[in-house]
């Protein structure tokens, strides 16, 4: 019996792997322009790190972590999200003592024992951003702008919506008062809640709103209490909205948006697409001003987000211009494997590649028909054919693969310049 991948884990093959790389490159370019530097955090962390940071009543901690015990009896997990690991590294390596802001981004796999479905796997990639040391509303807006620039650069401009909410902070008159009113409301509908929500609503009523089963029903209930933020939180959020409007960033307020993690305070946001199925959030994040202190560090304002790479790729693929991956720029063929023809063909291939063009060929032991068939399969835009007859006159044939029976004689000495000119006109 042949081996198969484990359910919820998948091989990522071309062209999807290439599309994911394109998204990663877009993120790196944008985030470096915003002053972020890359951090690489370990795949294994202690279980307690996520209990302390994400929250013991979250679905991640209660149901979704891949856990193991090592030979020394330590309880370890495959990282289910990136922020906790970045905060640990921030504290462990005393980055707060460098002064000013610390701006980091990461790219890597996360692991959750969820039910696999469209756009959701048990191993999935995230691109994430974390900024420490900026408590102003401008920090929230910069994070949102960076995320929108990444998605726009990746090909999603105009294909997502932004949901925005204010969760308040831990002042007694702010979120604690909201939790109390939520709990009183849940007591009135307790019999309608699932067993899991009934067991955790007293410990953390906000988590009930994040339940995949009960959450949507509760959010549709007009009697559901809404948060009335304190004056400081209201001022902060008003500034966030004003700065977004100043940058012409469209958003929708969503008072039921809580995100799935306990560490968020004040601003939270999600970027959503209608093209990825039931799980329509492709990215999200918010402010978490209390997390660094809760994990043993100094009081440090912070804001961050993460992109779900697989879901984002589904959204990009749904756009008409991205449904079919772009083929190679040039396919180079030779009529025979004579040394002279092969040498010219190989030389042109390497010249194109040195310029950053995608170029394929080298099937020189095959018939010319077979080589052009492969050019079609690879989606080549242009083909260059080195033939025996043309070789004698120091020429070759240039073929536009999109036009039937297209063929042009070009001097070998001019072919590289001609290719670059033609490809530039096609772009």
* Pair (303, 339) in one structural domain: no
Q: CATH number of the domain that 372 lies in?
A: 3.40.50.800
Residue whose token pair is 């322009």: 33
* Pair (377, 245) in one structural domain: no
Q: Is residue 33 part of a domain?
A: yes
% of the chain with per-residue pLDDT over 70: 96
* Pair (344, 260) in one structural domain: no
Q: Encode pLDDT of 292-302 as tens digits.
A: 999 999 999 99
Tokens of 151: 């998605």
The CA–CA distances, whole Å, from 215 to 72, 181, 220, 224, 252 equal 40, 16, 9, 11, 19
Q: What are phi and psi of 38, to 5 degrees?
A: -80, 135
Q: Encode pLDDT of 96-148 as tens digits.
A: 888 789 999 999 999 998 887 766 789 999 999 999 999 999 999 999 999 99
Find the radius of gyration of the CA atoms of the chain. Answer: 27
CB 38 within 8 A of CB 107: yes
Instruction: Give residue 24's pLDDT.
Output: 96
Q: Encode pLDDT of 150-186 as tens digits.
A: 999 998 998 999 999 999 998 888 988 888 888 888 8
- The last residue of a domain, from among 276, 301, 322: 322
Q: Is residue 206 part of a domain?
A: no
Q: Round to whole Å and give the CA distance between 332 and 367.
A: 13
Q: Is residue 374 part of a domain?
A: yes
The residue count for the chain: 427
* Pair (123, 255) in one structural domain: yes
Q: Round to whole Å and give the CA distance between 188 and 367.
A: 77
* Pair (301, 355) in one structural domain: no
Q: Are strands 75-78 and 44-46 parallel, antiparallel or unpaired?
A: antiparallel
Q: Is residue 210 part of a domain?
A: no
Of residues 79 and 204, which shows the higher confidence score? 79
Q: Is residue 192 part of a domain?
A: no
- The last residue of a domain, from among 322, 341, 368: 322
* Pair (344, 385) in one structural domain: yes
The CA–CA distances, whole Å, from 243 to 24, 158, 162, 166, 401 equal 27, 20, 15, 15, 49
Q: CATH number of the domain that 162 lies in?
A: 3.30.930.10
* Pair (317, 339) in one structural domain: no
24 SS3 class: helix
CB 163 within 8 A of CB 259: no
Residue 383 lies in domain: 330-426
Q: Encode pLDDT of 363-422 as tens digits.
A: 888 899 999 999 998 889 999 999 988 888 899 999 999 888 889 999 999 999 999 999
* Pair (268, 375) in one structural domain: no
* Pair (388, 248) in one structural domain: no
Nearest by Cα to 372 from 399, 412, 348: 399
The mean-pLDDT minimum among 27-31, 129-133, 209-213 falls in 209-213
Question: Is residue 323 pLDDT above 70, yes or no?
Answer: no
> Is residue 365 reached through a cis peptide bond, with omega within 30 degrees of 0 on the bond before it?
no
- The last residue of a domain, from among 322, 346, 372: 322
* Pair (314, 386) in one structural domain: no
Strand-pair partners of 401: none
* Pair (388, 301) in one structural domain: no
* Pair (150, 241) in one structural domain: yes
Task: Quote the number of domains for the chain.
Answer: 2
Q: Round to whole Å and give the CA distance between 328 and 369.
A: 18
Instruction: Give residue 382's pLDDT.
Output: 95
Element spanning 112, H or E: none
Q: Round to whole Å and give the CA distance between 209 and 212.
A: 8
Instruction: Give residue 276's pLDDT.
Output: 67
CB neighbour class for 145 (10 Å; exposed up to 12, middle 13-18, buried from 19): middle
Nearest by Cα to 148 from 272, 1, 4, 276: 272
Q: Round to whole Å and give the CA distance between 23 and 89.
A: 25
């Amino acid at each position: 019996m042949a081996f198969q991948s484990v359910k919820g884990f998948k091989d990522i093959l071309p062209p999807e792997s290439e599309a994911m790389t394109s998204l990663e490159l877009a993120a790196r370019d944008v985030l470096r322009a915003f002053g972020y530097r890359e951090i690489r955090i370990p795949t294994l962390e202690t279980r307690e790190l996520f209990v302390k940071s994400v929250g013991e009543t979250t679905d991640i901690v209660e149901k979704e972590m891949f856990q193991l015990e090592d030979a020394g009896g330590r309880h370890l997990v495959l990282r289910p999200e990136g922020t906790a690991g970045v905060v640990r590294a921030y504290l462990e390596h005393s980055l707060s003592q460098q002064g000013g802001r610390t701006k980091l981004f990461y790219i890597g796999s996360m692991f959750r024992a969820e039910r696999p479905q469209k756009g959701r796997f048990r191993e999935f990639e995230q691109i994430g951003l974390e900024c420490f040391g900026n408590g102003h509303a401008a920090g929230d807006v910069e994070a949102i702008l960076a995320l929108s620039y990444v998605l726009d650069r990746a090909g999603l401009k105009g294909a997502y919506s932004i949901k925005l909410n204010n969760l308040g902070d831990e002042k007694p008159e702010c979120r604690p008062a909201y939790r109390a009113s939520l709990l009183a409301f849940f007591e009135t509908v307790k019999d309608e809640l699932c067993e899991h929500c009934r067991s955790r609503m007293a410990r953390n009523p906000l988590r009930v709103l994040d339940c995949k089963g009960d959450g949507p029903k509760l959010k549709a209930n007009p009697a559901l209490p809404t948060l009335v933020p304190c004056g400081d939180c209201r001022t902060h959020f008003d500034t966030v909205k004003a700065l977004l409007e100043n940058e012409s960033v469209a958003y929708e307020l969503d008072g039921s948006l809580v995100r799935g993690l306990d560490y968020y305070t004040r601003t939270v946001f999600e970027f959503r697409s209608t093209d990825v199925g039931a799980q329509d959030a492709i990215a999200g994040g918010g402010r978490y001003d209390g997390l660094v202190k809760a994990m043993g560090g100094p009081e440090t304002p912070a804001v961050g987000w993460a992109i779900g790479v697989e879901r984002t790729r589904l959204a990009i693929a749904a756009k008409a211009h991205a449904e079919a991956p772009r083929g190679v720029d040039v396919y180079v063929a030779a009529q025979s494997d004579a040394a002279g023809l092969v040498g010219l063909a190989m030389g042109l291939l390497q010249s194109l590649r040195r310029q950053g063009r995608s170029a394929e060929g080298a099937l020189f032991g095959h018939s010319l028909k077979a080589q052009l068939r492969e050019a079609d399969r690879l989606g080549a835009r242009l083909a260059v054919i080195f033939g025996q007859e043309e070789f004698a006159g120091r020429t070759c044939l240039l073929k536009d693969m999109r036009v039937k029976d297209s063929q042009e004689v070009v001097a070998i000495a001019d072919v590289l310049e001609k290719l670059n000119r033609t490809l530039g006109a096609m772009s």
